[in-house]
Structure 1
Amino acid sequence: MSVPDTPPGTRRRPAPRRRLATVAALVASLAAALVLPGLGLSVPSPAYADSAGGRDIRTGLPGTALTWGSNHRGQLGDGNTAGAATVPGRVCGNVTCTAPLDKAVQVAAGDGHSIALLEDGTVLGWGNNANGQLGDGTKTDRATPVRVCAVGEPAPCASVLRGVVSVAVGDLHSLALLNDGTVVSWGSNSVGRLGDGSAAPEQPSPVRVCALNAVAPCTSFLTNVTALSAGFQHTLALRSDGTVASWGHNGNGQLGDGTTFPRTTPVQVGGLSNAVSVAAGQFHSVAALADGSAYSWGVGAGLGDGSGAQSTTRVRVCAIGQTAPCTSFLTGVKSVAAGGFHTLAVRTDGTALAWGDNFAGQLGDGSTTTRKAPVQVCAPGGCSGTLTGVTAVAGGTTGIHSVALRSDGSVRTWGFNGSGQLGDGTTTSRLTPVRVCAPGQTAPCAGFLEGVTSIGAGDSHTIAVSRPLADLATSIGASPEPVANGGTLTYTVRVHNYGPTSAEDVVLTDHLPTTVRYAGATPSTGYCDTPPTGTTNTVTCHFGTLARGGAATVTIAVKVRSTGSVTNVVSATGTTPDPRPANNSAAITTPVG
């Protein structure tokens, strides 16, 4: 039996399975305890080139899918359905969980389920499947990933969905953008959120989204789509001409077509012709325009217009600090995302803004005060500065926490943390951003998540793609030069990590020349496996983890037993992928006097 969906028009507060009063009391006590100084929506989808060319625009190299937070429906994909995780863990790459899911390029999260786009253009889903939102043709929950079926395939599916370039997730439905600019959807179809024009309550396998204003059974389908955003019970599609299509629940005007009628096939949002990013919340929608302005429609403080009053057509988002009626308006917006009742924006200067409901601190401004106009998201640790270097934000469609991806590949989170969805090793809610811990850490974390390329926020869990990359460079020097036959020659070897992330398990290997005899080795960190003094063999030094920009050295002393010259070659390796292995080795030739 399907999980009952919230009736249209019901205001679904995103409380993580607690009474709102309980959450409010928790947040109030949190605010009193804190001493304050002085982002299932995924990251906005990438732009699709054109429908004729069918160009592949998947962003980034594939990485490992990581999840943290609630796991009550298996949404963490780790093979379990119990408990919660307060730090990131790897999603299983197979049913037996003997390998991680390491071919993901984009991820998205909903109300108890997760979706991942793989580098081969196929899609996986796991977690809650009571409404068919995993797309595998069934309504069986999955604690490990399963493949999304091809359009119309019944279970067991003979073929899988292919040619996908982007994914989006609502609370109980999922969508995929194909490389021909069309869209498919699956899961709950309450209030027409799948956009296929049918009256079916759910679709456990993908169906095609109809063309604008089409009537079922549809014979033409939506085209030229460049990005998707799925809200609670409605969906937005950005098109290549800058217009926006919408469908699903519309009781509060969240479709932006000037009405409050639900739409089972797409309609066009009025007055938008140069949108570059869209976001759908529970009962509101937002768009960033090419000129850096932002517009919204629907209802609630998430509109950011200083009022929050219901509007079935677009209203302009106010500038920071404005009150209704606003006299100045937001500029410099690059992209937008939405939580249940709050909105997030990335500006061209790399700062983040937020507005809307804030009872759990999901705006990140150090307070629990609802904001009907934008405020700056604070820097980690306090509001004496602002969060910088932001490239993307995410907030769950029914969630009350926010996520930000920074240009250095690290992740910041804030808001409600009752299930560990902030990933900082605790279940303490945060009014300002905290850094997400590395897998395997415990609070207080000494290592932090790096190399992230995609983020998504669900109701009470968070998902990311991490691709750690090292860039080890090795150098070697020798002293004295020249060296006397029978004298001591000292090599100084340095390994530097220029990569964007930490380099794990770094090992330096020196196969000593046959013309020298080992005398001693002293590493700056870690330890060395050394041969007996006076022999010719291999020196192996274990440096452990080298942080981004970090370095380790070792001095190796040998006795020369040669004439002419001595050549020594050293090399460094690590378990973190290194795209430039040619830098890992170094050699030096020392003349013997």
Structure 2
Amino acid sequence: MPSNSYYNLAVGWLVEAGITSGVAPGKFAPTATVTRGQMAVFLWASAGSPQPAGGHSFTDVKPGVYYEQAVIWLVGEGITSGVAPGKFAPSAKVTRAQMAVFLWAAAGSPSVEGTHDFTDLNAGSYYEGPVTWLVGEGITSGVAPGKYGPTRPVTRAQVAVFLHASACTKAPVGTSIAAGDSSSCVLNDDQTVACWGLNAEGQLGDGTTTNRLAPTQVPGLTSTISLTAGRSHSCALKAHGTVACWGSNDSGQLGDGTTTNRLEPTLVLGLSGVLAIDAGDSHTCAVKRDAKVACWGFNYYGQLGDGTTTNRLTPTPVVGLSGVSATALGSGHSCALKDDGQVACWGGNYNGQLGDGTTTSRLTPTPVAGLTEVLTIAAGARHSCALNVEGTVACWGDNDRGQLGDGTTAESLT
């Protein structure tokens, strides 16, 4: 792994995101070619290794092999149907053309716009559209001027670069400030972070529990694009789609598999390809590149949306939720804005903060009644609000201090 190689940064990202630990102690094997079985694992891990549902019908994928769960996930997501009826061909080498299709399908098979200038792509081929998409997203410029090399086998180094570039092109510029209960953080121009305020549980991330009256640098945190803060914990989204959190962890809200408070940023386990993050009182959620949501932490009211009230120490998929562009988290409830402009909420509903017309708590996402064409959402402790395309705002839930802005102090269930 030469430090000046074209793949050094990408491999570093793979390791940090937990996507790979190499082929042996101290070895990544950058020039080794990648099989379809290995490619399945790379894609699955880059999506956060979600628990796959269903099964597969491939006779050449044996039970218990290291890539079985990854292949099941690929099938469930519609990313592949194999190479022939009943055949996945796990030991076959992946070509650059196939890599393009895998990445395009893993991104949700988005519509393809623009053109390419590769002379070695057959017009109308199964890979022409995906390669055009790769070019439009800035993921590749080919192997040489005018050449994509569709039949060339992909190496482990090239896969690292493809996956890293794919994650980075989807990373948005996010919130530059975040405020918790008694602390604040700011994202600097150089993508580092500084925090100040109460630090009793390490929520400033400076390695101490000393309160700070002025901004103090968070050590070891670079390439940050977005921040969020809960009651006593903070999280940072990094440019390559991973998340680091610090501070209070009594309910697992840091996502590192423990309930140990962390005084410095700690990587959230099994999470990559993240586009947006949000923190509630003691839980955290992430919107991923596939427009699905994973949450972790306190779950007494069902605010993690996994159908249970069990706290989760690592990211857990929200049940039945897709097409999401943003989330908003309250004290004991969560909401998601979908690409179609509708909103769904889940968790505690004792003040009507889910907006479904009831005070029944929900363990999985439930549509908010009467909302369409929503542009952005926000959540307070026990109330929620939405801004629509016409520039008007609707709020619902607790209103004991007039937080709904409707001229009353009466709560609203819709």
Counterpart of 1:52 in structure 2 is 164
Q: Is the 8 A contact 1:181 1:225 kept in 2?
A: yes
Offset, 1:365: 1.3
Q: Is the 8 A contact 1:130 1:140 kept in 2?
A: yes
Distance 2:274 2:401 in 1: 35
Alignment pair present for 1:207 and 2:286: no
TM alignment of 1:209-228, pairs within 5 A: 209-211=268-270, 222-228=271-277
TM alignment of 1:81-480, pairs within 5 A: 106-150=176-220, 161-200=221-260, 202-211=261-270, 222-300=271-349, 301-319=352-370, 330-373=371-414
Tell me the SS of whatever aligns to 1:198. Answer: coil
Distance 2:218 2:360 in 1: 39
Offset, 1:49: 10
Q: Larger relative CO (CA 8 A, sep 6+): 1 or 2?
A: 1
Offset, 1:57: 3.7
Change (3 A) 1:127 1:145: same
**Structure with the higher fraction of residues in strand conformation:** 1
Offset, 1:308: 2.5
Tell me the SS of whatever aligns to 1:303. Answer: coil
Change (3 A) 1:238 1:57: closer
Paired residues, what number? 250
Structure 2 stretches of 5 or more lacking a match? 1-136, 140-162
Distance 2:391 2:277 in 1: 22
Paired amino acid for 1:288: L
Distance 2:138 2:377 in 1: 20
CA RMSD of aligned residues (A): 1.7
Tell me the SS of whatever aligns to 1:177. Answer: strand
Structure 1 stretches of 5 or more lacking a match? 1-47, 60-104, 151-160, 212-221, 320-329, 374-593
Counterpart of 2:156 in structure 1 is none
Q: Is the 8 A contact 1:276 1:335 kept in 2?
A: no
Paired amino acid for 1:204: L
Q: Is the 8 A contact 1:245 1:268 kept in 2?
A: yes
Q: Is the 8 A contact 2:296 2:311 kept in 1?
A: yes
TM-score scaled by length of structure 1: 0.41
Distance 2:138 2:326 in 1: 15
Paired amino acid for 1:145: P
Distance 1:237 1:279 in 2: 10
Tell me the SS of whatever aligns to 2:287. Answer: strand
**Structure with the higher fraction of residues in helix conformation:** 2
Paired amino acid for 1:239: K
When Rg is computed on C-alpha atoms for both structures, the one with the higher figure is: 1
Q: Is the 8 A contact 1:236 1:278 kept in 2?
A: yes
Q: Is the 8 A contact 1:49 1:226 kept in 2?
A: no
Percent of aligned pairs with the same amino acid: 44
Offset, 1:52: 2.2
Distance 2:200 2:267 in 1: 21
Q: Is the 8 A contact 2:395 2:404 kept in 1?
A: yes
Tell me the SS of whatever aligns to 1:52. Answer: helix
Cα displacement string for residues 326-377 of structure 1 (whole angstroms, at most 9, x for unaligned residues)? xxxx11112211100011111122221111101111111111110110xxxx
Change (3 A) 1:366 1:49: farther
TM alignment of 1:569-588, pairs within 5 A: none
Q: Is the 8 A contact 2:172 2:275 kept in 1?
A: no
